[in-house]
């Protein structure tokens, strides 16, 4: 077995007991990246820096130093996230040569835990769309089936993990951008509660919708990276200065109160409906108490677009004239639409966020977890028109956000934790994801439930 075939926790244990070398692990990861270049998962590969860090990590092992939980384990970081001394492009020509002086909080914490950065993964410009393309790098392919999208915007991160180019990745999620590619590539991805993983890059920390989070091949590895990057930072207005409230961890699914949301006002592909329903039935067989609920998340689409497009207009708009011919046409379109939104539109969107938050808080008085498909259809064709109408179950279904992933972006608007985990495959072998969402600060509880579901699904 190659080292990259091990889970992160297995590899960390092998390094700790000197049965594996950090240098060997990094070399294995780098060789796999080179061998799978057609996937186009990385914008920047940090080969020399990673090998130098691996040599230092190996020396620490041999010297008997105290080792962090991820000591010597290779991992990747989405190219929206700051990495000191390593080019961070935001997937855009605007930042093509930008080299940050400081690490993002999650990156600094992963480094302190001993993880070794092997590269920056692909993302559409500023994570603005759910198709894995950008002028600066081209197209990223799904390692399961290149005819279908790997999801976005943490596209390269999901592909790297799914293809065995590293067992761990940091992604970001502004509307489903961790969970959607996790679903499309058959891995696990977590968007934590607002403030639990500090994200100080947001231009407006008081209206933050974008989250940094862990991606891995199973729930236990996702928990491992999450444990490293979570925690209070006084610079984050939503961080807690004291201990995060915790409920007792569930030891089984028996008695768990599950709100099952097969559709949120959107059409659903029959295969996704069948596979996710079977997963919920597996939870029932383990003793969970399931009740089908109704929520109209599709109605939030226009408010989500106001938030996203007005943010892009404010952040990117000044660069259109200088970089226009080097930017994605869909980014330019989003900026132009954002310029047309009024302050009243933005406040209306804020009011809608509040109503959704209140609705979910009311729901979580009765239920322990909200379960739904992550997306309403298996991975869509890679050459789809992201600005046009998508097909769900072979029928025209509307715009991509309202039709394909209305389950994900509400959790960004409200700050509730949510994760995607694999729960089966379509008839042609495409991954299908199950989303679990929980109460604020129930991140560890949510991961514990996910591990039990993972076990129930075999």
Domain boundaries, the chain: 3-229, 257-302+341-456
Cβ atoms of 83 and 77 closer than 8 Å: yes
> Which contacts of 24-31 are long-range, i.e. CB under 8 A and separated by 24 or more positions?
25/54, 25/72, 25/73, 25/74, 25/116, 26/50, 26/51, 26/53, 26/54, 26/74, 26/116, 26/118, 27/51, 27/54, 28/2, 28/3, 28/4, 29/3, 29/4, 29/74, 29/118, 29/165, 29/166, 30/118
| Residue showing tokens 């607002």 | 194
Q: Do domains 3-229 and 257-302+341-456 have the same CATH topology?
A: yes
From 115, 126, 117, select the one nearest 83 (Cα to Cα): 117
Cβ neighbours around 5 below 10 Å, total: 13
The alpha carbon of residue 266 and the mean position of all alpha carbons in its chain are separated, in whole angstroms, by: 22
Selection from 277, 120, 122 nearest residue 185 by Cα: 122
- Pairing type for strands 168-173 and 188-191 reads unpaired
User: What pLDDT was estimated at residue 140?
Assistant: 98
- Per-residue pLDDT of 423-440, as tens digits, reads 999 999 999 999 999 999
pLDDT tens per residue across span 198-250: 999 988 899 889 999 999 999 999 999 999 999 999 999 998 766 777 788 99
Which residue in the block uniquely carries the two structure tokens 């050459």? 383
> Which positions are catalytic?
78, 153, 177
Helix (H, G, I), strand (E, B) or coil at 196: coil
Q: What are the strands, taking DSSP E only, across 269-368?
A: 289-292
Task: Provide the pLDDT confidence category of residue 6 given band limits of 50, 70 and 90.
Answer: very high
- DSSP, collapsed to helix, strand or coil, labels residue 206 as helix
Q: Name the phi and psi angles at 317, rounded to 5.
A: -55, -40
pLDDT at 73 over 80: yes
Reported as a single tens digit per residue, the pLDDT across 311-333 is 999 999 999 999 989 999 999 99
DSSP one-letter code for 53: H
Cβ contact 259:291 at 8 Å? yes
Burial class (CB in 10 A: 0-12, 13-18, 19+), 337: middle
Q: What single DSSP character describes residue 381?
A: B
105: preceding bond cis by omega (within 30 degrees): no
The partner residues of 260 in beta bridges, in order of sequence, read 292, 371
How many Cβ atoms from other residues are within 10 Å of residue 103's Cβ?
20
pLDDT of residue 287: 98
Which pLDDT belongs to residue 286? Answer: 98
Q: Which residues contact 302 (CB under 8 A, 6 or more apart)?
A: none
Point out which residues pair with 424 in neighbouring strands. Answer: 432
At residue 248, the pLDDT reads 86
Hey, is 11 helix, strand or coil? helix
What is d(CA 448, CA 246) in angstroms, rounded to the nearest whole number?
12
DSSP symbol at 32: H
Mean pLDDT of 117-135: 96
pLDDT at position 386:
87
DSSP structure class, residue 324 = G
Chain-centroid distance, C-alpha 287: 29
Task: Tell the CATH superfamily of the 3-229 domain.
Answer: Amidase signature (AS) domain (3.90.1300.10)
Mean pLDDT, the chain, integer: 96
Sorted by sequence, the CB contacts under 8 Å of residue 348 that are 6+ apart come out as: 303, 306
The per-type count for the chain, helices as H runs and strands as E runs, is 15, 15
pLDDT for position 193: 96
Tokens of 118: 């092997």
Please say whether the beta carbons of 152 and 123 come within 8 A.
Answer: yes
Q: Report pLDDT for 134.
A: 95
Mean pLDDT of the region 281-285: 98
Q: 257-302+341-456 in CATH: which number?
A: 3.90.1300.10
Q: How far is CA 98 from the centre of its chain?
A: 23
Residue 330 is predicted with a pLDDT of 96
Residue 1's pLDDT band (cuts 50, 70, 90): confident
Among 231, 234, 233, 246, smallest CA distance to 196 is for: 231
Q: Residue 303: its pLDDT value, please? A: 98
Please tell me the predicted confidence (pLDDT) of residue 240.
73
CB-based contact 330:129 (threshold 8 Å)? yes
Please give the backbone phi and psi of residue 428, each rounded to the nearest 5 degrees, phi first.
-100, 15
Handedness of CA 320, 327, 163, 416 (dihedral sign): positive
3-class secondary-structure state, position 154:
coil
């Amino acid at each position: 077995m190659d080292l990259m075939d091990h889970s992160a926790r297995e590899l960390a244990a092998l390094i700790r007991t000197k049965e594996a070398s950090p240098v060997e692990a990094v070399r294995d990861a780098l060789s796999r990246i080179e061998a799978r270049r057609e996937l186009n998962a990385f914008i920047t590969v940090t080969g020399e820096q990673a090998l130098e860090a691996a040599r230092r990590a190996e020396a620490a092992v041999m010297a008997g130093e105290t080792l962090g939980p991820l000591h010597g384990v290779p991992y990747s970081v989405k190219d929206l996230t700051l990495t000191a001394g390593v080019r961070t492009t935001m997937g855009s020509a605007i930042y093509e040569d930008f080299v940050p002086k400081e690490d993002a909080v999650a990156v600094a914490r992963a480094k302190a835990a001993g993880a070794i950065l092997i590269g920056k993964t692909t993302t559409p410009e500023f994570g603005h769309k759910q198709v894995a393309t950008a002028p600066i790098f081209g197209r990223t392919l799904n390692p399961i089936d290149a005819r279908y999208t790997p999801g976005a915007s943490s596209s390269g991160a999901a592909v790297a993990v799914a293809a065995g180019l590293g067992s761990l990745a940091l992604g970001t999620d502004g509307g489903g951008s961790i969970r959607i590619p996790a679903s499309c590539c058959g891995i696990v991805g977590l968007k934590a509660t607002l403030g639990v993983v500090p994200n100080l890059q947001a231009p407006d920390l008081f209206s933050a919708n974008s989250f940094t989070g862990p991606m891995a091949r199973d729930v236990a590895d996702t928990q491992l990276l999450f444990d490293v990057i979570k925690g209070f930072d006084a610079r984050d207005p939503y961080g807690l200065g004291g201990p995060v409230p915790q409920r007792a961890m569930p030891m089984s699914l028996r008695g768990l109160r599950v709100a099952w949301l097969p559709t949120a006002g959107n059409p659903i592909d029959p295969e996704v409906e069948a596979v996710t329903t079977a997963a919920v039935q597996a939870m029932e067989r383990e003793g969970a108490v399931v009740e089908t609920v109704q929520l109209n998340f599709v109605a939030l689409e226009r408010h989500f677009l106001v938030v996203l497009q007005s943010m892009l207009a404010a952040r990117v708009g000044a660069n259109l004239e200088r970089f226009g011919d080097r930017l994605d046409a869909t980014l330019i379109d989003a900026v132009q639409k954002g310029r047309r939104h009024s302050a009243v539109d933005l406040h209306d969107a804020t009011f809608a966020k509040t109503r959704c938050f209140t609705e979910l808080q009311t729901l979580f008085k009765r239920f322990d977890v909200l379960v739904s498909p992550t997306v309403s259809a298996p991975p869509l064709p890679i050459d789809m028109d992201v600005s046009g109408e998508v097909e769900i179950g072979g029928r025209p279904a509307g715009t991509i956000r309202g039709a394909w992933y209305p389950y994900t972006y509400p959790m960004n608007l409200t700050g509730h934790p949510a994760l995607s985990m694999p729960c089966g495959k379509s008839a042609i072998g495409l991954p299908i994801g199950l989303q679990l969402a929980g109460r604020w600060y129930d991140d560890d509880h949510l991961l514990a439930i996910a591990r039990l579901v993972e076990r129930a699904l075999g």
